[in-house]
Homo-oligomer: A and B are copies of this chain.
Amino acid sequence: MKDQSTEENILKAAISVFQKKGMAGARMQEIADEAKINKAMLHYYYKSKQKLFEAVFRQAFEKFAPHINQVFNSDKSVFEKITEFTDSYISFVMENPYLPNFLIQEINNNPEFADLFFGSEIAPNPFRFKKQIAEEIEMGILKPIDPKQLLLNLFSLTAFSFVGTGLVCGILNLDERKFKSMMEERKILIPELLINSIKK
């Protein structure tokens, strides 16, 4: 936790502030305060707010992509993938609650910038998953379904609660404790719901 280089300290503080406030809402001074260093150091190490933001975005994208790739590229069955993704994704996001929303907002705000990442090697590629679905339909394990709709259902059910936490808790009258216990329940409920809907 200590003995980190200043550069690592800055990045860590920047992650915290940018993920909560977004590019437009974040302040360099706040990042400096969080890192307990002088504001000038941010520019010494990262040149500009934009460059620092890009480092944070890259880090967030790289942390997030493996969860998707686990679904797209592992050798597990579709049922196993759904179960394991749900569990590991919800656990992951409970530890990093601002990450999905940060990615979503900044991708929406800078589509051209985001395309840089979707074009790269670390970007998730649904090709193998589509093939797997086709095979399992062929084998009579799955009903004939659209793989993209299945993925969209899976992502929606797991991610939305964390992106819209405030609205969800407001409408459903949830405090933090109830919210968390519902998320734990969802680790079971979501795979059940999805698997039942696609198994032949």
User: Could you list which residues of chain A lie within 8 angstroms of chain B, going by C-beta atoms?
Assistant: 21-22, 24-25, 68, 100-101, 103-105, 107-109, 111, 114-115, 117-118, 123-124, 126, 146, 148-149, 151-153, 155-157, 159-161, 163-168, 170-174, 182, 185-186, 189, 193, 196-197
Contacts and interface: CB of A to CB of B under 8 A. Distances in A.
Pairs A-B, 9 closest by C-beta atoms? A156-B160, A24-B25, A107-B166, A24-B24, A118-B170, A160-B160, A108-B166, A104-B164, A156-B156
Contact of A107 (B105, B170, B193): B170
Contacts of A148: 172, 174, 182
Contact of A157 (B111, B126, B157, B185): B157
Which secondary structure dominates where chain A touches chain B? helix
A103 B25 contact: no
A172 B197 CA distance: 21
The interface centre, meaning the residue of A105, A117, A171 with most chain B CB atoms within 10 A of its CB, is A171
Given A109-B25, A163-B163, A193-B193, A172 B152 contact: yes
Contacts of A117: 170
A148 B182 CA distance: 9
